[in-house]
Amino acid sequence: MKMTKIYEGSHQWIMFGRDEGKPGNIVDTNQYVVRTPNRCLLLDPGGAELFAPMMAAVLHHAPVDQITDLFASHQDPDVISSLGLWDQALTNAKLHAPALWEGFLRHYSCDSIEYVGIPDNGGTIKLESLELQLIPAHYLHSPGNFHVYDPQAKILMSGDVGGSIEPPDSPVFVDNFSAHVEKMRYWHQRWMPSNQAKRVWIERVRNLDIDILAPQHGRMFKGDDVKRFLDWFDALQVGIAV
């Protein structure tokens, strides 16, 4: 599992992905870790197949008992089907996930982990002195969907928005936006169902100061590519399957 530190300050952001040992027939995912001095938050920790490599990778940065928080942007298996395993490994942890999905996500087993349901209008996650904002992203693509914004690191973890399917050895950042567009087009047109939801999200996100846009699949965007992405997404017609 490739590990890339994308922010280092009073806390750290680490991106995990491009897992070479992953079975070929499952979609590649990016996982993110926010590390404060004594706590650790896993963002979209991944599918059950990914649990062992992900846990092993996290152990380079934090001991098991400091993994105190998990976040699931939505209910998909590539996001959080590992929940039942984290539930048995962690003795004192919370899962921050859409309140809408609680009864569904509990099918993965969530007995010892405390389920903290995020209301539709969003909320925050406090990690020691750090406060992360939970930005509503409903219908992008899931009916109950949130992204995580860190105002200190200026990072927006954007779930499936900005996603693309890439070969395992791809770079972790977009290096040529024009060339990257075609890798994202069908993904967004097919997976995102609502132009209205897209417009509302773009308006909301344009008000945030973002250095890095970090999707759950494919490459991250940094600097001017963040604005380029928002402009491109704004102009894109989505929900093409009907």
Partner 1 sequence: MTNQTKSQFIAVASITSELSAVMVVAKEISLAAANAKAIAFRAGDKAKGFQPITDFINELAKETIELVTNINIYALVLYRLTVEEYHKTIAFNKFELAAKMAEGALYAESMQEPVDQARLAMQDCQRRFKKDVSQLLGQLEEVMHHARAARVIAANSRIEASQAGEYLQSLQAVAESVDKAAHTIHDNVQRCRIALSIYRNS
Contacting residues toward partner 1, per CB under 8 A: 48, 51-53, 55-56, 59-65, 84-85, 88-89, 109
Among residues 70, 44, 54, which one has the least CA distance to residue 21? 54
How crowded is residue 50: how many other Cβ atoms within 10 Å of its Cβ?
26
CB of 216 to partner 1, least distance (A): 21
Please say which residue, 85 or 226, places its beta carbon nearer to partner 1: 85
220, 212 in Cβ contact below 8 A? yes
> Least distance (Å) from partner 1 to the CB of residue 59?
4
Within the chain, strands assigned E span 2-8, 12-17, 31-35, 40-43, 67-71, 94-98, 114-118, 123-127, 130-136, 146-150, 155-157, 212-214, 221-222
Least distance from partner 1 to the Cβ atom of residue 73, Å? 23
CB of 70 to partner 1, least distance (A): 15
Contact assessment for residue 216 and residue 79, using Cβ atoms and an 8 Å cutoff: yes
Name which of 56 and 240 has its Cβ closer to partner 1: 56
Please classify residue 119 by burial: count the beta carbons closer than 10 Å to its beta carbon, then call 0-12 exposed, 13-18 middle and 19+ buried.
Answer: exposed
What's the closest the beta carbon of residue 85 comes to partner 1, in angstroms? 6
- Whole-angstrom Cα distance, residue 219 to residue 29? 10
Instruction: Evaluate whether 212 touches 196 at the Cβ level (below 8 Å).
Output: no
User: With respect to partner 1, which residue has the nearer C-beta, 48 or 116?
Assistant: 48
Residue 123 is encoded by which pair of tokens? 């909320």
* C-beta closer to partner 1: residue 66 or 194: 66
CB atoms within 10 A of CB 224: 9
Least Cβ distance, residue 132 to partner 1 (angstroms):
23
Which of 28, 130, 141 minimizes the C-alpha distance to 75? 141
CB-nearer residue toward partner 1: 109 or 194: 109
CB of 58 to partner 1, least distance (A): 8
Tokens 């976040």 correspond to 71
- Choose between 112 and 129: whose C-beta lies nearer to partner 1: 112
Q: Which is nearer to partner 1, 70 or 85 (CB)?
A: 85
